[in-house]
Amino acid sequence: MKTNIVSTATGKANAYALFFVKKSIQFSNILSEEAEKQVESVLNGMNDGPFEDLEFLEIDNQPTIFVDAAKERGLSSLDHLRMAAYRLAKKASKRQIPVVSIMLADAAPEQFKSFLLGLHYADYKFDAYKSKHKEAFQVTFEIVAGEQVAEFKKIAEVAAIENKAIVLTKNLINTSASDLTPAEFVENANTIAKFTPGLSIKVRNMKQLEKEGFMGHVTVGKGSSHEPYMITLSYDGSKGARGTKAAGKNANKNVRTSADHLVFVGKGLTFDTGGLCLKPPKSMPEMISDMSGAATVLAAIQAIATLELPIKVSAVCCLAENAIGNKSVLPGDIFTAKNGKTVMVDNTDAEGRLVLSDGLAEAGLIGATHIVDLATLTGAMVRALGYAVAGFFCNDDALALNVINCGEACCEKFWSMPLEEEYADALKDHFADLKNTGSDAGAIAAALFLQEFVPENTAWAHWDIAGTAFVSKAWKYTDFGATGFGVQTLIELARRMSSASDESEDAANEDADGEYATVEV
């Protein structure tokens, strides 16, 4: 897929695209009086049934693709536009149309970005294991932007960076577990850190983890022939105002930086057999996705560094393989976690929370003010919210609101779940301080367990992405496999937190002048 952003149509298009909602054409379009009547007739026909979405018709003597921008149920207006662009790109590639022209001069910036991401989604495929590779026909989309050409080109640059992060996430998750061991994941992370300016990396192996007391990793990973690792990636955009790619080369002159240190923690079980508490065979193949949290935070911090957001961000990847071996953790075993609490392993298949306990401890050691952990953690969350919505738990109202708002902006749905203390007593053990499972409310119990390892006075959110990270049937713009869910919301969260310092200072200045200030968090 290629895009060419122009102020006026070049006349080189082989087809034009018209987006519509019900009976109204969206964005700017220039049609003759006769063509307007044709379009009205087509839209009436689509409403009544004779025509279908993406009908290919002659309008003003030009082949025209009609694209319904509100076809699917339950989506936001921005997500509708992504889906419309996705379907358009698939249709144009299948028909082998070299150049498609689209009038978007009246589109808002966020609408244009959603449209671009929809095109990018249509371009993704994972065929690394196919014996024959069939190249899709490459379509060039001519974006007629009117007076917004310069701004749209900046948005396109940002969208390309974010899409690169989404593709990285998907590729890592879709790779088979034998080809993506913890050590292979480390190699990928090292390469990314090496070629991403401003991004540094620290890697702990099995001996270092054991020496430093990160026993969650050791406990989970010791049964596998592939040793566990913990990776800490760091980017410090607060060291001088770096500006953003979206704002251009000279944007760094008067940018204030955030004092926050945002830390992402990702569960990275490159494969999960369930350990001695073995999983059912039908559940096994999808366990290649049990490292989705780690893949997501790795990709997100790469994008944040590339975008040069003025905020300090770190990402902790908790990597292990939960396998069966002669050193596997036994149900009933007790270990001492990094923060000094003792944990009895009641169920070896509740291993993600054990490695995350180390990641949360590491976040505290490096000075996190805000932590977001991501994990394909519980089947209970899948049963509760399915594949379209991620449940999350949070100990800070401002951060919770920010997660929801960022998710909405990125067409990723989040639902706030309760940290219900009534279930906490079920985590108590006879011999240890805690056990790793509760008796009821599995997703809540897991979050309550993790909360025991959150550093004091730290805003924290736990995203259970078990349902949203990987799908076994077509869902929106994913036919099968990894969805890339969460990457954009993490980037957007860093973006908004990096600009919050500007808003707060402006508000303080207004208050100093005797005016009331409102700051949206």
What the block records as the tokens of 25 is: 């054409």
User: How far is 173 from 292, CA to CA, in rounded Å?
Assistant: 6
Select which of 87, 91, 353, 435 is catalytic. 353
Q: Pick the catalytic residue from 71, 154, 202, 279.
A: 279
Q: Is 279 a catalytic residue?
A: yes
Give CA separation, 415 vs 345, 348, 397, 485, 493, in Å: 29, 28, 13, 14, 16
Q: Is 12 a catalytic residue?
A: no
- The torsion angle over the Cα atoms of residues 70, 73, 78 and 84, rounded to 10 degrees, is -50
Closest by CA to 355, choosing from 370, 369, 375, is: 375
Question: Could you tell me if 432 and 334 are in contact, meaning their C-beta atoms sit under 8 angstroms apart?
Answer: yes
Which two three-digit tokens encode residue 98?
């070299």
Residue in 211, 255, 222, 497 with CA at minimum distance from that of residue 355: 222
H/E stretch holding 34: helix 33-48
How far apart (Å, rounded) are the C-alpha atoms in residues 316 and 80? 34
What is the radius of gyration, based on Cα positions, of the chain? 25
Strands (E), 179-288: 199-204, 229-236, 261-272
Q: Which residues form the catalytic set?
A: 279, 353
